[in-house]
């Protein structure tokens, strides 16, 4: 059975002390709720806080993910962080191809593919983001856009490699805008993505792949989004910065 995942993307927020407080709050909150056993929580703090956050959880409460990784193995790439470094810190997951990285740092599908390769080589699970911008949705190009991103970013993998991948469908017009995709829009796109995976790798692989929704997901709308059969959880930005909201979202399965 595929995993139900709620992953928090803290983006470039929090100082060290604030991050420490947030993870402390998450831990306290987790002690007073009981999540379904199949619900996997992932916390993705900024690089400098990865170790501190990992030390809290020891993998028993939540897994830890990075928000980015280099497409190169090692060497003279000032400011970059390699998959080998993340592996050496036992980081389990890494977000790749987030729309903010695609828009502000020119992360192309070829770069996404190279980053995914690095992560898989070093035993990390990529959380690969895809999604259309508003004009593409308005001109009904969303399926073509997402197909392209998945094809060029992921379909070079073998079926076995693909089994390690988590996909996050994040319509760009819904990220940080307070505008959420309707449950119908989310289900329609998730079913489309699962169909693409089935065509490429077969039904079994498609059924095992977790496909998360991202874009202004919050406690008040998570239940109706997660109730759809192809929506396997959420990638949460803003609402992951408050322990109460983050855990309340994970309780909506
Ligand atoms: C995100 O950036 O991945 C995201 C979903 O952000 P938000 O929840 O704030 O829309």
User: For the chain, what is the mean pLDDT?
Assistant: 97
CA gap 111, 102 in Å, rounded: 10
* pLDDT tens per residue across span 107-116: 999 999 999 9
Assess whether pLDDT exceeds 80 at residue 58.
no
Residue 60: the pLDDT is 75
Pocket test for ligand 1, best of 172, 175, 180 (most atoms within 8 A of CB): 175
* pLDDT tens per residue across span 219-245: 999 999 999 999 999 999 999 999 999
Let me know if 107 is exposed, middle or buried by CB neighbors in 10 A (0-12, 13-18, 19+).
buried
Site of tokens 């604030």: 18
CA distances to 24, 202, 238 from 244, in Å:
12, 39, 12
Which two tokens mark 103?
């828009």
Identify the three-state secondary structure at position 128: strand
How does strand 233-236 pair with strand 125-130?
Answer: unpaired
Question: Does any ligand 1 atom lie closer than 6 A to the CB of residue 237?
Answer: yes
Q: Is the dihedral of CA 77, 83, 87, 89 positive or negative?
A: positive
CA gap 2, 187 in Å, rounded: 16
Provide the 10 A C-beta neighbour count for residue 168: 26
Q: Which of 63, 100, 107, 170 is catalytic?
A: 170
Question: Phi and psi of 212, rounded to 5°?
Answer: -95, 155
CA gap 211, 127 in Å, rounded: 9
CA distances to 92, 164, 252 from 125, in Å:
6, 5, 24
Residue 68: the pLDDT is 98
What is the distance, to the nearest Å, from the Cα of residue 39 to the centroid of all Cα atoms in its chain?
14
Beta bridge partners of 78: none
216 within 8 A of 179, measured Cβ to Cβ: yes
Question: Does any ligand 1 atom lie closer than 6 A to the CB of residue 238?
Answer: yes
Q: How far is the CA of 161 from the centre of ligand 1 (A)?
A: 26
Residue 92: the pLDDT is 97
Provide the 10 A C-beta neighbour count for residue 212: 28
Assess whether pLDDT exceeds 80 at residue 59.
no
Q: Which of 63, 98, 132, 136 is catalytic?
A: 98
CA gap 99, 103 in Å, rounded: 6
Residue 100: the pLDDT is 98
pTM comes to 0.98
- Catalytic, 18? Answer no
């Amino acid at each position: 059975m595929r995993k139900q995942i709620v992953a928090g993307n803290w983006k470039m927020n929090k100082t060290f002390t604030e991050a420490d407080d947030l993870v402390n709050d998450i831990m306290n909150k987790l002690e007073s709720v009981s999540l379904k056993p199949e619900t996997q929580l992932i916390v993705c703090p900024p690089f400098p806080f990865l170790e501190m956050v990992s030390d809290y959880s020891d993998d028993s409460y939540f897994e830890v993910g990075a928000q980015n990784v280099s497409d190169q193995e090692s060497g003279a790439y000032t400011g970059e962080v390699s998959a080998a470094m993340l592996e050496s810190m036992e980081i389990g997951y890494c977000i790749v191809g987030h729309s903010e990285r695609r828009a502000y740092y020119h992360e192309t599908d070829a770069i996404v593919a190279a980053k995914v390769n690095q992560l898989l080589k070093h035993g990390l699970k990529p959380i690969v983001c895809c999604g259309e911008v508003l004009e593409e949705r308005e001109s009904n190009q969303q399926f073509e856009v997402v197909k392209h991103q998945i094809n060029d970013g992921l379909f070079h993998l073998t079926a076995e490699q693909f089994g390690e991948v988590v996909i996050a469908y994040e319509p760009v017009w819904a990220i940080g805008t307070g505008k959420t995709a309707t449950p119908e829009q989310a289900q329609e796109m998730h079913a489309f993505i699962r169909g693409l995976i089935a065509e490429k790798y077969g039904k079994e692989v498609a059924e095992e792949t977790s496909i998360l929704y991202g874009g202004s997901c919050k406690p008040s709308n998570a239940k109706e989004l997660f109730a759809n059969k192809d929506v396997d959880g959420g990638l949460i930005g803003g609402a992951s910065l408050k322990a109460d909201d983050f855990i309340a979202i994970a309780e909506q399965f």
